[in-house]
């Protein structure tokens, strides 16, 4: 089974979506969305979200696999829309 979660930037600034435990960064412009997906072992498995200064960090629960990140049918690479000079 697979679990999905849509993350939307409802702010007027660039928003960081950080996925763990792989420490991958994706950036959304105002009004943009992406979808995080992961294989799950049980219907009780879910994403854990943590608000941060720059956006949100997404963690998988114990029974989840690797988190992949998508816009439509396109899987995003780490650093998607990363601003210049971000460290």
**How far, in Å, CA of 50 to CA of 52, rounded?**
6
This prediction has a pTM of 0.93
Q: Does 82 map to a domain?
A: no
Judge whether residue 87 has pLDDT over 80.
no
- Number of folded domains that form the chain: 1
Q: Does 80 map to a domain?
A: no
Amino acid 81: pLDDT: 97
**How far, in Å, CA of 30 to CA of 10, rounded?**
6
17-74 tens-digit pLDDT: 999 999 999 999 999 999 999 999 999 999 999 999 999 999 999 989 999 999 999 9
Nearest to 7 by CA among 64, 63, 80: 80
Residue 63 or 5, more confident: 5
Residues with Cβ < 8 Å from 6, sequence gap 6 or more?
A: 33, 34, 35
Domain that holds residue 52: 2-75
Structure tokens at 7: 């993350």
């Amino acid at each position: 089974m697979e679990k999905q979660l849509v993350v939307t930037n409802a702010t007027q600034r660039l928003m960081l979506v950080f996925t763990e435990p792989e420490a991958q960064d994706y950036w959304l412009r105002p009004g943009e969305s992406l979808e995080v997906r992961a294989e799950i072992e049980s219907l009780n498995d879910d994403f854990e979200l943590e608000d941060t200064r720059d956006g949100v960090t997404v963690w998988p629960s114990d029974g989840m696999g690797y988190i992949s990140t998508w816009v439509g049918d396109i899987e995003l690479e780490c650093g998607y829309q990363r601003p210049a000079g971000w460290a």
